[in-house]
Structure 1
Amino acid sequence: MLEFMPLVLFLVICLVLMAGYPVALSLAGTALAFAGLGLGLEALGIDAHFDGGYLGAFPNRLYGIMTNQTLLAVPLFVLMGVLLEKSKVAEHLLDAMALLFGSLRGGLGISVTLVGMLLAASTGIVGATVVTMGLMSLPTMLKRGYSMPLATGTICATGTLGQIIPPSIALVLLGDVLSSAYQQAQLSMGIFSPKTVSVGDLFMGALVPGLALVVLYIAYVSVVAWLRPQSAPPADRKELMDELGHEGGLGLLLLKGLVPPIVLIVAVLGSILGGFATPTEAAGVGAFGAMILALAYRRLNIQTLKEVLRSTTHVTTMVFMILIGAALFSLVFRAYGGEELVTDLFEDMPGGVVGATLIVMLVIFLLGFILDFIEITFVVVPIVGPILLAMGVDPVWLGIMIAINLQTSFLTPPFGFALFYLRGVAPDSVPTSAIYKGVIPFIGLQLCMLLALAWFPELATWLPDQF
């Protein structure tokens, strides 16, 4: 039984997280409890297969986390996203897109998808996107006769694009974890000058799959509108213009709504793709640009700045606390011989690297029903990542596969956070069952994207290879 302690540790962590305890404290507390158990059993002369020497590496791990230049992008991207949320960029975008496409069948659904794509490329914050579009576009869609499942499903799914379309905080965190896993895999193969996985490579690798998802969403809404016109009827442009109350016409609204975020997106992503800046430096450019936009929209004052900085500090502290807890969990897991145990399980698995990758993707998808993407990133990926990479899996392709898989965790009940965000702002007339029913087709589209990536890895690897 004691040789399976790593698996017991993993199961206990999942149970504690499901019980609702804070992620950082759950990871660190459970790891410390199991470390104490291992040291106690060894002191009593019982072979617990526990190597306490691994714990001596924790101070170095802690120092490495706090001085990691890549992770410096997290607070800067969060600051950029919160500033854009406060500057009401989303309102102008939604209004402009609604007027541009609203007169088509399914036009409002297409507008929501395109706005979600632009917000994902400028803020990357799922909660803010879902709440904003839920408050602004859901009442309009329902008033115009859209079916509840289609309207709610489109908003929830579009909000999750911030997970895959760069600059994504999820990709920054995943890049750091995968980089460590890749170095570990190379060292295990006797390569003592290991390469790393850059966040920029993941950003480039995510562009094509992210845009392909947007096309799939738009195609689905268009097909539903064509087959069931009553589910997504066209809206009258003049009525929309009167309802939104904008002066100056469609051209001025498009100029105010589209140009500023597109300029910011080009500045951030263009500097990364062009090789002019690292993701961390580009995050600084984005944060500064978002502040200029907030000033231009006259939305920035001392009170707003306090709220923005408080929110940024809160998110950043949470992420780094989770990183510290995850580092301790990883060391205790390895001290129990967990790495060797998982390696043996993968090597004995039928299908070789294909079978192992399939099982990992299935496990991540199922864990997405009960755990958050941050928890899966810091608990599961450090365990399975080094083994899959040592088996020859491309690190960029694996990162994008995991990112899209984690995207489903926002939509899968019972703990899909996008569902919670929309439920919190949706009218009481919208039943929870309609939200759950609405996201099912979009989960299917995300899984189709996973299958396409598995069949055509070039979707993720082509663009990084060009640069």
Structure 2
Amino acid sequence: MAMSDGALGLLQLFLFLFFIMLGFPIAFTLMAMGLFFGYLGMGDRIFDLLVQRTYSVMSNDVLISVPLFVLMGYIIERANILDRLFRSLQMASGNIPGSLAVATLATCALFATATGIVGAVVTLMGLLAFPAMLRAGYDVKLASGVVAAGGCLGILIPPSIMLILYGATAGVSVVQLYAAAFIPGVMLAGLYIVYAMGIAIVKPSVAPRLPPGEAKVPFGRILVALVTSFFPLALLIAAVLGAILMGLATPSEAAAMGSLGSIVLAIAYRSFSIAKLKESVFLTARTSAMVCWLFVGSAIFSSVFGYLGGQELVEQFFKSLPLNTFTFMLLAQALIFVLGWPLEWTEIIVIFVPIFLPLLDDFGVDPLFFGILIALNLQTSFLSPPVAMAAFYLKGVAPKHVKLEDIFRGCMPFIYIVVFTMFCVYFFPGIVTWLPEQLYGGGGDAGAPVQMEGTPPGGFQEEETIRVD
């Protein structure tokens, strides 16, 4: 008995998940599934589609900023700036309850902003801050959660690679996404810090204060440390973000200047070398190639899935449920949360988010607002067992006596904070919409997640610079 096209589309999706669970490469599995099922449904035309989709991805202006931001991150990572940054923030926060945890989270937030690479931030902070907290008598679970959760902030805080990929997938302005994500990102980092300080006050035994000799550092020494380590990196990031948000440069132009600035910073710190530059360029090329092939595979897979009627079946399923806007958002975010266990955020963005995008109009949800909630949600995918990549990154560099279950337990309070932030963002959408409206105008009632002007969901957009008068 022949299968209907819609059933073929669903079979395509389930087989993809099956092969991913077996460990097959994501990008090439997407292409293989797309070509195989496309040939069954379309015949030889699937090869024309392959060429067209590959060209559309490779000529997409939005993706130009990806390798430039990645290069900026790798150069900063290899310039040993993180060690200077952590030491200066540690001195500046010496008298604060939970000072080491606060310094760790502040360093993670700033460094994650510069790199956007979760594995790099968690690994480096696991080598630098985690042992320092353990030596100071911090509880293993608290120290683990601080490093793992802090390292994931780069998914949300601009300039985030994830937001670039979402913008390219959903046809949403990356500039507006950056503006929309800024306040929620700072809010989440602030809640992490408040929690660390609160637990240090309520339970001093889990986060002991530093000895007087380490806590009381002369103000002049703190100022020198901040001027030489904190402010240069902060100014570089502020310049890159400010140029984007104020309409002075496109994301690609700002990323190019950020890459140049990171090289200048590395030279100023006398940690620049041709060998480090070559290594950074190689890692950037590898990461960028992965992203591009992932987009090519996703474009083919999604096109075939839609052609076979799989997308229509999914839409009919959601429409058949008694859902309003709130319950649809709750169900969509719950599914993304569950998908975050076996899959990384890149697969979720380029494969599963397009399935939800056509439904946003039906439930009156702004794609920009939806994207920020996803960026918040994906924080949990790095922290939630059984996969919890941030926990595994930390376990790989942690002392042998640190158990994986302790790291998982340490991540749980931070997962609750993320979920709390998501509810705050949903019920007070002005947290997301206020800054884009102030900078660029448009939008509607700040009390609801309304549609904003932009490219319709589901298509690639041309890169833009928003000019302000």
TM-score, normalised to structure 1's length?
Answer: 0.89
1:240 shift after superposition: 7.2
Q: Indicate conservation of the 8 Å contact 1:5/1:336, yes or no.
A: yes
CA distance in 1, matches of 2:26, 2:288: 14
Q: Does 1:337 align with 2:309?
A: yes
Residue of structure 2 equivalent to 1:187: none
Alignment of 1:136-151 (within 5 A): 136-151=128-143
CA distance in 2, matches of 1:260, 1:72: 25
CA distance in 2, matches of 1:241, 1:281: 43
Residue of structure 1 equivalent to 2:200: 225
Alignment of 1:164-203 (within 5 A): 164-179=156-171, 197-203=172-178
Alignment of 1:70-149 (within 5 A): 70-149=62-141
CA distance in 2, matches of 1:375, 1:392: 25
Query: For 1:268, what is the secondary structure of its paired residue?
Result: helix
Residue of structure 1 equivalent to 2:230: 258
Q: Indicate conservation of the 8 Å contact 2:53/2:299, yes or no.
A: yes
Residue of structure 2 equivalent to 1:26: 29
Residue of structure 2 equivalent to 1:422: 394
CA distance in 2, matches of 1:362, 1:8: 22
From 349, 353, 367, give the equivalent of 2:339.
367
From 195, 199, 204, give the equivalent of 2:179.
204
CA distance in 2, matches of 1:353, 1:100: 45
Q: Which amino acid aligns with 1:100?
A: A
Q: Indicate conservation of the 8 Å contact 1:55/1:331, yes or no.
A: no
Query: For 2:326, what is the secondary structure of its paired residue?
Result: helix
Which piece of structure 1 moves more, 342-351 or 422-431? Answer: 342-351
Alignment of 1:146-157 (within 5 A): 146-157=138-149
CA distance in 1, matches of 2:362, 2:286: 36
Q: Does 1:274 align with 2:249?
A: no
Which piece of structure 1 moves more, 302-311 or 158-167? Answer: 302-311
Query: For 1:380, what is the secondary structure of its paired residue?
Result: helix
Find runs of 4+ consecutive structure 1 residues off by over 6 angstroms: none
CA distance in 1, matches of 2:86, 2:116: 17
TM-score, normalised to structure 2's length?
Answer: 0.89
Q: Indicate conservation of the 8 Å contact 1:411/1:417, yes or no.
A: yes
Q: Does 1:382 align with 2:354?
A: yes
CA distance in 1, matches of 2:370, 2:314: 18
Identity of aligned residues (%): 40
1:56 shift after superposition: 4.1
Which piece of structure 1 moves more, 363-372 or 18-27? Answer: 18-27
Q: Which amino acid aligns with 1:200?
A: V
From 202, 210, 224, give the equivalent of 1:235.
210
1:32 shift after superposition: 2.1
Q: Indicate conservation of the 8 Å contact 1:16/1:26, yes or no.
A: yes
- Deviation track 1:340-385 (CA, whole Å, cap 9, x = no partner) reads 2122112212123333222211110001011100011111011111
Q: Indicate conservation of the 8 Å contact 1:356/1:388, yes or no.
A: no
Across the aligned residues of Structure 1 and Structure 2, the Cα RMSD in angstroms comes to 1.9
Q: Does 1:5 align with 2:3?
A: no
Q: Indicate conservation of the 8 Å contact 2:95/2:215, yes or no.
A: no
CA distance in 2, matches of 1:177, 1:396: 12
Q: Indicate conservation of the 8 Å contact 1:31/1:332, yes or no.
A: yes
Q: Which amino acid aligns with 2:77?
A: E
Query: For 1:413, what is the secondary structure of its paired residue?
Result: coil
CA distance in 2, matches of 1:389, 1:211: 29
> Do the aligned partners of residues 314 and 162 (structure 1) sit closer, same or farther apart at CA in structure 2, a change above 3 Å counting?
same
Q: Indicate conservation of the 8 Å contact 2:74/2:284, yes or no.
A: yes
- Deviation track 1:363-415 (CA, whole Å, cap 9, x = no partner) reads 10001011100011111011111221454211210110111111211111222
> Do the aligned partners of residues 237 and 378 (structure 1) sit closer, same or farther apart at CA in structure 2, a change above 3 Å counting?
farther
Structure 1 unmatched ranges of 5 or more: 41-51, 180-196
CA distance in 1, matches of 2:428, 2:11: 36
CA distance in 1, matches of 2:57, 2:386: 32
Q: Which amino acid aligns with 2:183?
A: V
Q: Which amino acid aligns with 1:64?
A: S
Residue of structure 1 equivalent to 2:425: 453
- Deviation track 1:201-258 (CA, whole Å, cap 9, x = no partner) reads 000000111011011101111121111100001112534799xxx9x83222111111
Residue of structure 1 equivalent to 2:266: 294
Q: Which amino acid aligns with 2:112?
A: A
Alignment of 1:38-53 (within 5 A): 38=41
1:34 shift after superposition: 2.2
CA distance in 2, matches of 1:6, 1:353: 27
Q: Indicate conservation of the 8 Å contact 1:121/1:265, yes or no.
A: yes
CA distance in 2, matches of 1:360, 1:6: 20
